[in-house]
Structure 1
Amino acid sequence: MSNDSCNLPLDTDTFSLTCIYGLIFSLGLPSNLLSLWGLYHLGRSGSGGCQLVYILNLLLSDLLQLLTLPLWILYLQGAHRWPYGQLTCELVGYVFYVNVYASVMFLCLIALDRFLAIVYPLSSRRVRTVRVAAVAGVVVWTLTFLFCLSGLLPSVFDSDRLLCLEKYPVSPAYAYFKITTVALGFLLPCAILGYTSAHIGVTLRRSPSLSDHERHKIVGILVVITVNFIVVFGPYHLVCGYRFVSLLLTNEPCGLERSIFFIYRLCYGLTSLNTLLDPLFYIFLCPDARLELQRSLPCLGRGQNTRKKITLSTRATNFSAVSFNSQ
């Protein structure tokens, strides 16, 4: 199997990406649905605030991205040939890319929300509202969709070779678009994350009023966001930047495409791992997360209820023994 223009070994990524997508889909779909169910009940209880809006958008973005993975698995198993037509390819391609960068933006909004809540708790009250969070969510979706549409529209589907979201070699316009996504979709969010994390760290050290539990929760949020950016999005955007900058400078684009094809495709597939990490925000940011899940899904609370009963019976036994000995 090879590409007509660059003679690329398109079968080299089939096994690895199929395993990655299959594992992510099988684990990510139930965890995101469970988190969305808990968020729904948490919202009905009237708690959560603006952070609930950001997490809800983040999980919805992950869910839409997850739903595209079975089609990508079939595409890989079909030797990189898209049998579902141009319209379906464009729709699935846009959904996949839009949700990747929408997730990045909502991670930045969560980091900014924590930054304002900790560093400027009083002056940021007017900004940290549900209405502002809802407007910010609409803005993120709109800008991300328009940005991806402007770059992907001429390059999503190759009708001659039935390639979807792939083109070898790429056009200069598409290369410039991808370089822009690296700058705006990775480097800028990393700068925002670094700035907010540094100020949050200074504030945590200077604030004696915060309990250890609150400190650990804040640190946990920053760790999850950092891991998402460095481990999940970092390799792809670094390889992506190298690939497309080099393609603009080289006189032999096909040789470069062949040398970097497998590592680029592997890093591209790893970006979907964020759908497994994002549900952790539901645990870190929502203090009543487990309680709401146990109330809405009694099967999750049986183990805890059993432990509570055992603990209570143990305490009662110990109390009886102490009373007997004192007599």
Structure 2
Amino acid sequence: MTNESCNFSLDADIMGLTCIYSMSFSLGLPANMLSLWGLYQLGISTGGVQLVYLINLLLSDLLQLLTLPTWILYLQRGHNWPYGSIACNIVGYVFYVNLYASVAFLCLIALDRYKAIVRPLRSQGVRTVRVAWLSSLVIWTLTFFFCLGGLHSVFKQNLASYESRCLEQYPVSPRYACFKIATIVLGFLLPCCILGFTSTRIAMTLQNSPSTSDRDRRKIVGTLCIITVIFIIIFGPYHLVGSYKFVAYFLTDDRCGLEKSLFLTYRLCYGLTSLNNLLDPLFYIFLSNNIRKELRSMPCLRRRNCTPKEGTVTNLHLDQEDHM
């Protein structure tokens, strides 16, 4: 297939993105569903603030996962979208919203850990389940309208001149390029600063805390390091390549040449962001001993009766402040 605007082949990303999306969907869907089942068993009243953020994070992952089969079909049909322009806009919008909602909830989790460990007394009044749900609602609302405002021109053009491609325009419009620069700043650089700051302060506090055992200290610091590394590996390439692409967009006259040179790299980095759906449940769920016990009680994970024995721990291991 040849793009009519810039006249270059769009087939280079088909194999790579199909493999990435297929792996993300086939592994991420059951992992996220198992994780949500485990969190449901804990209950909001016992899980507290962290549980609220985890549920929202996993829900955003699941919503994004449900769009992947349509993208796989789109790729296999040679960048030919068979469902019409309205469905294209809806699916593309859901993917974008849940991508940046996931980033936001990761930041909320990091900030909550910071308040619980570094500012435990000062944060008691705000670290409540009610505030957590209100914060989650604010995140969904801001992400919804931010993406809607940024993608509005793309959706409008897609409805007016829809042919077969779904939200692929080469070269992009100046308004869309500005929107992408804004997402890089607000959706990647700012969260990186938040994660770096909270991780550093938590590590310093734990290092100077005599009441924390060496084992717990190493586990918490290691967990925070993994969060930061995963955030950079999964979201970093897409936003770094995008920052070069969309800044260079305003500095070059050969925009088609720029699009062609970065097409495969940018598209593969874009697909890489979907692997966040694999890492969220693996990181937050399977590193918790209590949730591993809860998941092992499921019928699909063992042959015996799924009813937990008396005395089985079913509460998520969180700080006492989380049960507020």
Q: Fold conserved (TM > 0.5)?
A: yes
Q: Which residue of 1 aligns with 2:321?
A: none
Letter in 2 for 1:7: N
Match of 1:33 in 2: 33
- Tell me if 1:97 matches 2:99: no
Question: Which SS does the other structure have where 1:2 is aligned?
Answer: coil
Greater alpha carbon shift after TM alignment, 59-68 vs 275-284:
275-284
Task: Give the TM-score normalised by the residue count of structure 1.
Answer: 0.88
Counterpart-to-counterpart distance in 2, 1:261 and 1:282: 34
Q: Return the alpha-carbon distance in structure 2 between the equivalents of residues 56 and 8 of structure 1.
A: 42
| CA deviation vs aligned residue, 1:208-243 (integer Å, no higher than 9, x gap) | 211234324322431332123210000000011111
Q: 1:315: which partner in 2?
A: none
2:251 corresponds in structure 1 to: 249
Offset at residue 285 of structure 1 (A): 7.5
Query: Does structure 1 retain, via aligned residues, the 8 Å contact 2:85–2:162?
Result: no
Q: Distance in 1 between matches of 2:292 and 2:302?
A: 9
Separation in structure 2 between the aligned mates of residue 266 and residue 106 of structure 1, nearest angstrom: 24
Secondary structure at the aligned position of 2:285 is classed as: helix
1:232 equivalent to 2:231? Answer no
Note the C-alpha offset of 1:154: 1.4
Which runs of structure 2 are paired with 1:110-149 in the superposition (5 Å)? 110-149=109-148
Distance in 2, matches of 1:193 and 1:223, equals 10
| Count of aligned pairs | 302
Unmatched 5+ stretches in structure 2: 307-324
Aligned to 1:181: 183
SS at match of 1:29: helix
Query: What residue is the counterpart of 1:73 in the other structure?
Result: 72
Shift, 1:190, TM fit: 0.4
Match of 1:292 in 2: 294
Q: Which residue of 1 aligns with 2:207?
A: 205
Q: Which has the greater radius of gyration?
A: 1
**C-alpha deviation, 1:302, in angstroms:** 6.3
Look up the equivalent residue of 1:300 and give its one-letter code. Answer: L
1:10-46 CA-to-partner distances (Å, cap 9, x unmatched) read 00000010011001101000000000000000116x4
Structure 1 residues 286 and 124 mapped into 2: Cα distance closer, same or farther (>3 Å)? farther
Could you tell me how far 1:83 is from its partner in structure 2?
1.2
Quote the residue 1:171 is aligned against. Answer: 173
Larger helix percent: 1
The aligned residue for residue 319 of structure 1 is: none
C-alpha distance in 2, partners of 1:98/1:239? 20
- Identity fraction in percent: 66
1:120 partner SS: coil
Question: Any idea what SS the aligned residue of 2:90 has?
Answer: helix
Contact 1:102 1:144 in 2 (8 A): yes
In the alignment, does 2:63 pair up with 1:64? Answer: yes
* Per-residue deviation, 1:294: 3.3
Which consecutive unaligned segments of at least 5 residues does structure 1 have? 306-327
- Secondary structure of the residue that 1:154 maps to in structure 2? helix
Whether the 8 Å CA contact 1:48–1:286 is kept in 2: the answer is no
Aligned-partner Cα distance in 2 for 1:78–1:213: 52
Root mean square deviation, CA, Å = 1.8
Contact 1:51 1:285 in 2 (8 A): no
Deviations 1:237-268 (A, max 9, x none): 00111111111111110011111100000000
